Amino acid sequence: MSVLIMLLRKMARNYWLVICLFSGMLLCIALTSSMPIYKNAVLHHMLVQDLERSYEQTGDHPGMIAAQFTMQTDNAKVQASVMNRFDAYWSTHIAGSPLLHVTEDQRMVETVRFGLTPADPTRVDPKVKRSAKLAMRSGIEEHVRIIDGRLPLKTKANGVYEVMVTDSALGQLGMLLGQEYDIKDPKVKNQEIRIKPVAVIVEKDLNDPFWGMQNLKNDQNTFFLPDQLFEQDFVAKHPIIIGKLGGVAIGDYSQFDLNTAAYVLQLKTNLAPDMMGAYNYSVSSSISVPGSEAMTAYSDREKTLRTLLWSLNVPLFILITFYFYMVTSMLVERQQSEISVLRSRGASRFHLVLMYAAEFGLLAIAAFAIGPWLGVTFTRILGSTSTFLNFVDRGTMKVQMDAESWKYAAGAVVAAWVLNLIPVFIATKNSIVDQKRAKAREGKRPIWQLFGVDIVLIAVALYGHYMFRQRMSDLVKLGLDGKSLSADPLLYTIPTLFILGFGLLMIRLYPLFVALFYRMGRKLWAPQYYTTLLLVIRRNRIYHGLMLFLILTVGTGIYNANIARTLNVNMEDQIWYAAGSDIVLRQHWENDAPSASSPTPQATQPVQSAPPPDIVHYLEPPFELIESLPGIDTAAKVFTKEEGEAWLGTKSGKVKLVGIDTDAFGNAAWMKDGLTPYPFYEYLNVIASDTHAVLLSQTAADYYGAKVGDTLDVGWEGIRPTRLVVYGIVPYFPAFNPNPVAGSKEGDGKPQNPMLIVGHLDTIQNELGMEPYDVWLKLKPGTNRQTLLDEMDKRQIKLEKFDDTIGQIAESRMDPFRMAINGVMTLGFIISLAISFLGFMLFWLLSLQGRMLQFGIYRAMGISFKQLLGMMTLEQLLTTGAGFFIGIATGFAAGQIYVPLFQLSFDPGRIVPPFQVISDHKDVFRLGISTCFMLAAALVILTWLLKRMNIHQAVKLGED
């Protein structure tokens, strides 16, 4: 207890340092523990989304697990064993599994077919051959609607079993409701079984998952008994041979997670052999797991996302490690005299390290208790990001603590505890003599400058950049996908090394710039500024830690912001460019094309060559129905013929032919600025004046050797070509990708570049042919797309195609990897600001406390309070301000050098528009506001401390 009290008192004397150290531990543990929480949350969210999409597309409930076994033996003992084994396995591994969250459990058993004869031949025709079977489905009464009769009794009444049947069963078997029938068949042991249909049933709701395995349509010769009665008299006593048994479990798929997905996939593969075991020879099985296809990729997704999260957090871990080292070094430096005295008096290094280990251990335990719960908050921040620093309400994210997050937190605690002990271990080797020697050598250059650590770090970072460039070049040549490399931790570590190395280089050169600034106005500086400049030049070593810390935090923040914004903008630009407009749709066109099933007339004589294809005539639907829809800003007709042909001189080739109305198309299409030498709409204006004018893609111009003014013959198979004139050549055009498709080759073996010709829609329709076209819609701001679809239904507009670009953008923002990038980068940016503020305030607080005597002497020498405040303001500008601006410059430099490597996140050979590094001045503004706030806070604290100090206190400090 005495040791604990001593440690608490020691921590209380340095409470600012302890608070900052505890804050760093808390951030480290929260950040680390948030990774598995976030990984599980986002993958659960994506899993549920995929299952819902599967449900919408197939109509099969994705939480359903259905098994059906057909008996291949009539041995009563074997059948009883099979049924017992089925019940035991189903109850334990499916209905009772906590992973499946079963909300409905259905069992079904059927007998083999048997013959029926009417009990009263005078009422029912006895000549009709009747063959049926008895069955039970647990809970069927709650899912059917009685259209005639009543529910059967749950007990045998007067020797008769009351049953339910379908209307088709009554008709097929020639039976009447309410009449009794005897089961007479050699397969039946007891010939006194009598049944009476008392109810005709239909399904209440065919969309009910209860009917997911089998509905009543296939039960045209089935009599349904109450489940308890069936089990009591037909399963237990076995009077009739059992033909089938099975079960259907419906799980709440909104509660499914990665463990559920793995369990379901294992069930699908092993359910039948595990359930039947040695009785496999006695049954044939049918297993249905509709949601399994949506679950197959999640094992690989989990591994990739885990790697990506670690990679994304590497810069933050480096930043926190540096923060630990800086804070612990300050703590040790403040207690260096005490450590040296203890060492000189015989204390071993082990005892001193053990003392600090106990102190840091207390902080680590407290941080471990709080950190994971803070990690849950971090996860909510990560999951609520739509784009960088843009938050949305994503309430469906399932964020919860689990054992894996506690393991990560425990690892972070140990790592933080060890990292904090490193400066202590280094400091404990010094005695009082070593300490005095170290003070005498304060003017010498630090070790990192002597060994050129800054140059080494920059060289390593640039070499890493060269290697990734080479790998990206190889991927483009081979036409491979580089997404596996985009999660490489080195891709995120190397830029941090560059920022660190470049920051150290600037710190090495910075005193030279301050000295030059000092010499430029040496005869003009006031005494207080003269003193401050000399202090920064001669004792700049004391500011190295602060400046490097600011450079690292600000530079990392700017770099992370550039990555996030670049990836977001480029991803969404690709979607916009590929689509072309807000919505692209196609109406149904009536035509006279022969149906696929129509017989082909036989030729009466040998055919020398294939006849030309018959021309199909189309009836254009009314365009006004689309154009007049509410919320439509512009509607443009866009005809596209992928297999067009063009001839110029002796050259011919396949082209993509596009027909447009220039005015409407210019208003409806999306085109990124800067992709063409002149604004996009100017090219449309050029061809607007001539109905035979066309635009040619650069790839087509290179292939044909065409230039402005040349004429081409354009058409497609079975159509007589028309002559058009080249009015312009464009490198890009909406929805046209000029990059070669993998595998396409020209005659000389070179990659085949797609080619494009853009002409007037009226000319194509009048001179070539009328064929279906798409409609590109630009919506008014705030238009509800679901309302638009509902209005189309009201107008009975038949659609063959409906591509919603805005919906695709929203869906892309839900991609787990994009969410990870946006979330981690946003969180990293916020943490960078928080850590830089903590480090800044800690440094200046300790610096001011350590220089109280110096300030008192300045005041005693006649320097006014205003002049003293001016000195400190200049000192902060020369150190904190310099670190801030160097950090911004370093972050932007790293962005320009390394962010282009993130083309690996796409297909480098197919990116359109070309990859572009995006920077936002708002990020610099946020950092600037933060830095101004830090400077203002430091000045307020400085003013408060200086106002509390009197001259007589300074004299007393001098005497002491």
| 295 falls within a domain | no
Q: How confident is the model at residue 609 (pLDDT cuts 50, 70, 90)?
A: very low
Pick from 824, 682, 800: which is nearest to 315 by CA? Answer: 824
Of 136-145, 328-337, 569-578, which range is least confident? Answer: 328-337
Confidence check: pLDDT of 600 > 60: no
61: tokens are 């409930």
The string of pLDDT tens digits covering residues 5-18 is 767 777 777 677 78
The residue written with tokens 């980068």 in the block is 825
Confidence check: pLDDT of 70 > 80: yes
Examine the domain organization and report whether 321 and 377 are in the same domain. yes
CA 204/CA 201 separation, integer angstroms = 9
Examine the domain organization and report whether 792 and 831 are in the same domain. no
DSSP state of 799: E
Confidence check: pLDDT of 246 > 80: yes
CA 529/CA 863 separation, integer angstroms = 12
> Is the Cβ–Cβ distance between 642 and 741 less than 8 Å?
no
Q: Can you give the pLDDT at residue 62?
A: 87
10 Å CB burial of residue 812 (0-12, 13-18, 19+) is middle
Which secondary-structure segment (H or E) carries 68? strand 64-71
Q: Which residues pair with 655 in a beta bridge?
A: 644
The string of pLDDT tens digits covering residues 483-498 is 555 567 788 788 889 9
Q: Can you give the pLDDT at residue 543?
A: 78
Choose from 5-9, 120-124, 623-627 the range with maximum mean pLDDT.
Answer: 623-627
The residue written with tokens 């990679």 in the block is 311
Examine the domain organization and report whether 660 and 750 are in the same domain. yes
DSSP state of 524: T
Examine the domain organization and report whether 749 and 811 are in the same domain. no
Examine the domain organization and report whether 812 and 952 are in the same domain. yes
Q: Can you give the pLDDT at residue 744?
A: 53
CA 520/CA 929 separation, integer angstroms = 30
CA 442/CA 317 separation, integer angstroms = 30
> Is the Cβ–Cβ distance between 400 and 42 less than 8 Å?
no
Question: What does the pLDDT average to over 40-51?
Answer: 81
The string of pLDDT tens digits covering residues 497-550 is 999 999 999 888 888 888 888 888 777 777 777 777 887 777 777 778 778 888
pLDDT more than 70, % of the chain:
87
| 423 falls within a domain | yes
Long-range Cβ contacts of 921-926 (<8 Å, 24+ apart): 923/389, 923/557, 923/558, 923/561, 923/565, 923/829, 924/558, 924/888, 926/833
SS3 960: coil
Q: How confident is the model at residue 608 (pLDDT cuts 50, 70, 90)?
A: very low
Question: What does the pLDDT average to over 469-488?
Answer: 64
CA 34/CA 418 separation, integer angstroms = 21
Q: Can you give the pLDDT at residue 394?
A: 58
Examine the domain organization and report whether 425 and 331 are in the same domain. yes
The residue written with tokens 């106005």 in the block is 521
Of 441, 465, 481, which closes a domain?
Answer: 441
Torsion of Cα atoms, 624 then 628 then 633 then 634, to 10°: 0
Of 736, 766, 797, which closes a domain?
Answer: 797
Cα distances from 641 to residues 69, 129, 324, 803, in angstroms, run 52, 62, 63, 18
| 259 falls within a domain | yes
| 778 falls within a domain | yes
CA 199/CA 460 separation, integer angstroms = 82
CA 546/CA 568 separation, integer angstroms = 33
Confidence check: pLDDT of 606 > 50: no
| 688 falls within a domain | yes
CA 890/CA 506 separation, integer angstroms = 10
Rg (CA), the chain: 39
CA 737/CA 728 separation, integer angstroms = 18
Examine the domain organization and report whether 73 and 44 are in the same domain. no
874: tokens are 């200049």
Question: What does the pLDDT average to over 67-92?
Answer: 86
Choose from 223-232, 419-428, 479-488 the range with maximum mean pLDDT.
Answer: 223-232
Examine the domain organization and report whether 341 and 387 are in the same domain. yes
146: tokens are 């009685």
Q: Can you give the pLDDT at residue 603?
A: 41
Q: Can you give the pLDDT at residue 710?
A: 92
Q: Can you give the pLDDT at residue 646?
A: 93
Q: Which one-letter amino acid corresponds to residue 181?
A: Y
10 Å CB burial of residue 959 (0-12, 13-18, 19+) is exposed
Q: How confident is the model at residue 857 (pLDDT cuts 50, 70, 90)?
A: confident
Confidence check: pLDDT of 175 > 60: yes
Averaged confidence pLDDT in the chain = 81
917-932 burial by CB neighbour count: b if 16+ within 10 A, else e?
bbbbeebbebbeebbe
Q: How confident is the model at residue 479 (pLDDT cuts 50, 70, 90)?
A: low
The residue written with tokens 């089998």 in the block is 214
CA 270/CA 446 separation, integer angstroms = 65
CA 760/CA 743 separation, integer angstroms = 32
Name 618's Cβ contacts closer than 8 Å, sequence gap at least 6.
589, 590, 591, 770, 771, 772
| 605 falls within a domain | no
Confidence check: pLDDT of 640 > 90: yes
The string of pLDDT tens digits covering residues 786-801 is 888 889 989 888 888 8
Which of the two residues, 185 and 679, has the higher pLDDT score?
679
Q: Can you give the pLDDT at residue 54?
A: 82
Examine the domain organization and report whether 814 and 951 are in the same domain. yes
Confidence check: pLDDT of 611 > 50: no
Q: Can you give the pLDDT at residue 190?
A: 61
Asked if the peptide bond before residue 913 counts as cis, ω within 30 degrees of 0, the response is yes
| 309 falls within a domain | yes
Q: Which one-letter amino acid corresponds to residue 352?
A: L
Q: Can you give the pLDDT at residue 597?
A: 46
CA angle 272, 276, 277 (to 5 degrees): 105
Q: Can you give the pLDDT at residue 602?
A: 44
End-to-end CA distance of the chain: 36
> Is the Cβ–Cβ distance between 829 and 563 less than 8 Å?
no
Q: Can you give the pLDDT at residue 293?
A: 82
Choose from 272-276, 440-444, 903-907 the range with maximum mean pLDDT.
Answer: 272-276
> Is the Cβ–Cβ distance between 27 and 320 less than 8 Å?
yes
Question: What does the pLDDT average to over 340-362?
Answer: 79
DSSP string computed for 429-449: T--HHHHHHHHHTTTSPPHHH
SS3 183: strand
Q: Which residues pair with 712 in a beta bridge?
A: 724
Helix/strand/coil (H, E, C) string of 686-738? HHHCCCCEEEEEHHHHHHHCCCCCCEEEEEECCCCCEEEEEEEEECCECCECC
Examine the domain organization and report whether 122 and 265 are in the same domain. no
Examine the domain organization and report whether 907 and 825 are in the same domain. yes
Of 762, 797, 832, which closes a domain?
Answer: 797
CA 205/CA 689 separation, integer angstroms = 61
Hey, CA dihedral for 27, 29, 30, 36, is it positive or negative? positive
> Is the Cβ–Cβ distance between 180 and 195 less than 8 Å?
yes
Q: Can you give the pLDDT at residue 480?
A: 54
The residue written with tokens 């499946």 in the block is 100
Query: CB 348: neighbour CB atoms within 10 A?
Result: 11
SS3 951: helix
Question: What does the pLDDT average to over 747-762?
Answer: 79
Examine the domain organization and report whether 894 and 928 are in the same domain. yes
| Overall pTM surpassing 0.85 (yes/no) | no
Task: Give the helix, strand, coil percentages of the chain, each rounded to 5.
Answer: 55, 15, 25
Name 672's Cβ contacts closer than 8 Å, sequence gap at least 6.
573, 576, 577, 913
Confidence check: pLDDT of 585 > 90: yes
CA 942/CA 849 separation, integer angstroms = 10
Confidence check: pLDDT of 282 > 80: no
Which of the two residues, 137 and 846, has the higher pLDDT score?
137
10 Å CB burial of residue 955 (0-12, 13-18, 19+) is middle
> Is the Cβ–Cβ distance between 375 and 33 less than 8 Å?
yes
Pairing of strands 64-71, 799-804: unpaired
Length of the chain in terms of residues written: 960
CA 935/CA 550 separation, integer angstroms = 13
Pairing of strands 130-137, 222-224: parallel
Confidence check: pLDDT of 596 > 60: no
Hey, CA dihedral for 814, 818, 820, 824, is it positive or negative? negative
SS3 751: strand
Q: How confident is the model at residue 109 (pLDDT cuts 50, 70, 90)?
A: very high
Alpha helices by DSSP H, listed for 580-661, are 624-627
CATH number of the domain residue 85 falls in: 3.30.70
CA 164/CA 136 separation, integer angstroms = 10
Confidence check: pLDDT of 762 > 90: yes
Pick from 627, 586, 630, 587: which is nearest to 787 by CA? Answer: 630
> Is the Cβ–Cβ distance between 589 and 621 less than 8 Å?
yes
| 572 falls within a domain | no
125: tokens are 């025709």
The string of pLDDT tens digits covering residues 813-833 is 777 777 777 777 777 777 777
Q: How confident is the model at residue 878 (pLDDT cuts 50, 70, 90)?
A: confident
Residue 319 dihedral angles phi and psi, to the nearest 5°: -65, -45
Confidence check: pLDDT of 956 > 70: no
Question: What does the pLDDT average to over 270-279?
Answer: 78
Whole domain around residue 166: which residue ranges?
Answer: 113-240
Q: What domain count does the chain have?
A: 5
Choose from 78-82, 420-424, 516-520, 663-667 the range with maximum mean pLDDT.
Answer: 663-667
Q: Can you give the pLDDT at residue 690?
A: 92
Question: What does the pLDDT average to over 879-899?
Answer: 87
654: tokens are 């396949």
Q: Which residues pair with 733 in a beta bridge?
A: 736
Question: What does the pLDDT average to over 451-476?
Answer: 85
